[in-house]
Amino acid sequence: MDIQALYQLFRQHPSITTDSRNCLPGSIFFALKGENFDGNKFALQALEQGCAYAVIDNPAYKANDRCIVTENCLQTLQQLANYHRNVLKTPVIAITGTNGKTTTKELTATTLGCKYRVLYTQGNFNNHIGVPLTLLKLTEQHQMAIIEMGANHPGEIRTLAGIAEPDYGVITNVARAHLEGFGSFEGVIRTKSELYDFLRQNGKHVFVNRDNPYLYPRTVGMERTEYGTQPDASLFGQLTDCNPYLSFWFEYRGERFEVHTHLIGNYNLENALAAICIATYFGVDGQAIARAISAYIPQNRRSQLQKGERNTLIIDAYNANPTSMEAAISNFAQMEVAPKALLLGDMRELGTESAAEHQKIVDLIRSFQFDRVYLAGSEFSAVAHGLPVFPDTDSLLDFLKAEPLSGYHILIKGSNSMHMERCIDLL
C-alpha cells in the first residue's frame, strides 16, 4: 500500500496508536519495534481491542485483511506524518536546544494560545516516534503547531526536521550534554544547528538569542528575528528579581510590560524571551503575553517550587547536564533564603568527560556556603572528596528516612535516570 492510499485510510480513522493496550475504537495500530519488544506480535490483539487496521512489517503476523504490510513501520509512520503535515500546510514552529526547550515550548504554546488554536508537543514526545505522532494529531482546526525536537546523536535533528518541515525554528541554547553520543561540545553545536541548516536551505524563518555567542553567528544571512537582553535585539527584556520566582520586563512596540512568573531560576529568562519573541512576531498583544506567562505554572519537575509541611522544595529533577546543574546551583546560592540543602544526582551520558564535569560541580558547590549537601551516584562518589555522598538514589532515600530534613529550602536535581524525584515524598 502506497502512502497516499494509507493516508486515505488515516483520514477515515484519524487516530494512531503504537500501544495495543491503548486502542481507541477505529484507530490505526503501528507495530513498532524496540530492543525488547516487537509490535508485530501484538497486531492481532490491537485489532481485537478495537483498532480498524494494523500496520505491520513482518508478513508472518498478517492475521487478516485489516493488517497492512509495509517494509518498515517506523519509516511508514514518519512518511505518513510528513504527508499529513504537507496536506494541511499548518505553520510549524520547531524548538530544540540542550536546555530549556520544553519550558520554551510550553511558554510559546501558552502565549500563542492567546490568539491561535495551537497543537504542541505533549510530555517528552520529541524524538523520531514522538514527533510524527504529534504531527498526526493535527486537524484543520489547528492554526499553528509547535514541535519540540530532542537529540542525543548527530543527524537526529536533521531527521526530525525532514519529517516536520518547520516554517520557523528556535534553538534555545547549546551546552555540554549527551557528550557520549555527540562526541564533543562541537558535536552538540553541529547537531542542534541541523535545524538552522534546514531553515536556511528552505528559506524559512529563525528566532535567535542575540546574546548567544555560539548560535547567533550561525544565523547570519538568514531571515531572522532576534531576542535578548540588549536594546539592539528586536525583542529585549531584563531580569528584575529571582527570589525565588523569576520576574522581568520586556519591551514591545515602545511599551514596557512587567512579568511575574511562577518559574524558578534566572536561566529561564532566555526561555521566556524566546517565547515572547515568537508570540510578538505573530501579533499577540503584549499585555496578553505578560498575563499568560505570569499565569503559567511549571509542571513535570522542571523549575518548580513546592512548599511541603516540613521543607520548601525547588524541584528541577527532570534532567541534568553540566550547564543546567551549574545554573541551578548558582541560582539557588543567590536566593535569599536559609537554611539551604542540596540533593544532587549524577549527570549521565557525559562519556569520557564525566569525571571532569562532576569535579567541576563539586568545586562549584564548595565555593558556596550551603548548609547541607547530599550527593548520589557513582560519578559523584568518585570525586566527592569529603562531601556526603551515596552510591545510588536508594541509599540516599534510606538516609533521608533515618535522618529527615526539616525547615530547609532544598534544591533537587539530577539526570532523569537517577529518579531524584523519589526524594520528594520524604521531604
Q: Which residues are annotated as a binding site for ATP?
A: 97-103
Amino acid making up residue 346: D
Residue 340 to residue 205: CA distance in whole angstroms: 44
Residue 278 to residue 412: CA distance in whole angstroms: 31
Kindly give, in sequence order, each residue whose CB lies less than 8 Å from that of residue 78, ignoring residues fewer than 6 positions away. 128, 132, 163
Q: For the stretch 325-343, what's the b/e string if a residue is b when 16 or more beta carbons lie within 10 angstroms of its beta carbon?
A: bbbbbebbbebeeeebbbb
Residue 255's Cβ-count burial label (10 Å; 0-12, 13-18, 19+) is: exposed
Residue 411 is placed in which grid cell? 534544591
Q: How far is CA 104 from CA 71, 201, 247, 266, in A?
A: 37, 24, 16, 14
User: Do residues 39 and 32 touch, judged by C-beta distance below 8 A?
Assistant: yes
Closest to 413 in 3D by CA, of 423, 403, 404, 405? 423
Residue 58 to residue 69: CA distance in whole angstroms: 7
Kindly give, in sequence order, each residue whose CB lies less than 8 Å from that of residue 77, ignoring residues fewer than 6 positions away. 16, 18, 30, 32, 55, 129, 132, 133
**Other beta carbons within 10 Å of 227:** 26
CA dihedral 201, 135, 125, 119 (to 10 degrees): 100
3-state secondary structure of 341: strand
Residue 377 to residue 345: CA distance in whole angstroms: 6
Residue 330 to residue 21: CA distance in whole angstroms: 44
Going by the annotation, the residues of the binding site are: 97-103
